[in-house]
Structure 1
Amino acid sequence: MAGTRPFTLEGIDHVVLLVDDMAAARAFYLEVIGCTVENALPQYGMLQLRAGASLVDLVDISGEPGAWARPPAPGGRNVDHVCLATGRWEEAAMRAWLAAQGVAIIEEGVNNGARGESLSFYVKDPAGNTIELTGPPEAT
């Protein structure tokens, strides 16, 4: 793993949790934990909650909008992915770095995270967990 990493790690941007009772999950995270509602994305069955500098995204897998995240076996995984926030990176350098490390980009896109919209690359860790790497939003 030689070479210079083209980014700095800044922390966890968001975690995506799969829930089968959105009302109960929402009440728990808002009333017990103290999160606030950041954004609703009903087309994905998702509710984004602010947890300090990070987000906790809840995906309701009991309905069709959240079916995209439903685990293949009932009672299976309940964490879809973890998003790690990085410093600014140059897209070509990041692609080259990941390729040189033998890490495939399995998905990519501009997504809304705790710091706003930015380009994200999704990769798998050695255990098969999905990790999203996202830089800060582009300056406007």
Structure 2
Amino acid sequence: MLGLDHLVIRCVDLGTMQRFYCDLIGCELVRHNENFDLYHLRAGAQLIDLIAVDGFLGKRGGAAPGAEGKNLDHFAIRIADFDEVALHAWVSENDLEIVEEGERFGADGAGPSIYLRDPEGNIIELKGPPDA
């Protein structure tokens, strides 16, 4: 394992959250994906992504953060090698389920990803390098 790639936070007020993380915490806005109303903020070598609770991606998490809804959409772990055949075999051997897969943008750029659930239902993205 190389470390975390990015975190995605569901927000009720994107503007306030973006200003907080950039102006107060010191993150840098590196990209705004207008199709998904998604802000990619640089936090050192990693990214913090902000999405609207009522937006396309945010709606997947249910209600606004609170007793009935989760605030964290998923977190990504950057892996060194992305061997799709070996990863699918590992998933099968460990009786896991791939929730989603495809090319996604992360801290090192666009690259392959697979999404799994942990034992409590949290979504983990295994993120490969851009050149995989």
Please confirm whether the aligned pair reaches a TM-score higher than 0.5, indicating the same fold.
yes
1:18-76 Cα distance to aligned partner (Å, 9 max, x none): 001111101100011100011111111210000011000000124xxx24322323431
Match of 2:63 among 73, 98, 103: 73
TM-score scaled to structure 2, two decimals? 0.91
Instruction: Give the Cα separation in 2 of the matches to 1:138 and 1:67.
Output: 28
Whichever residue aligns with residue 20 of structure 1, its letter is: V
Instruction: Give the Cα separation in 2 of the matches to 1:68 and 1:12.
Output: 20
Match of 2:119 among 126, 130, 135: 126
| Structure 2, gaps ≥5 residues long | none
Instruction: Give the Cα separation in 2 of the matches to 1:27 and 1:77.
Output: 22
Give RMSD over aligned pairs.
1.3
What corresponds to 1:46 in structure 2? Answer: 38
What corresponds to 2:86 in structure 1? Answer: 93
**Taking structure 1 as reference, are residues 126 and 47 closer, same or farther at Cα in structure 2, changes over 3 Å only?**
same
Match of 1:24 among 16, 26, 49: 16
Structure 1 stretches of 4+ with a deviation exceeding 2 A read: 70-75
1:97-123 Cα distance to aligned partner (Å, 9 max, x none): 111011111100101100111110000
| Structure 1, gaps ≥5 residues long | 1-8
TM-score scaled to structure 1, two decimals? 0.86
Whichever residue aligns with residue 63 of structure 2, its letter is: A
SS in 2 for 1:43: coil
Deviation at 1:89, TM superposition (A): 2.5
More strand by share: 2
Deviation at 1:13, TM superposition (A): 0.1
What corresponds to 1:3 in structure 2? Answer: none
SS in 2 for 1:25: helix
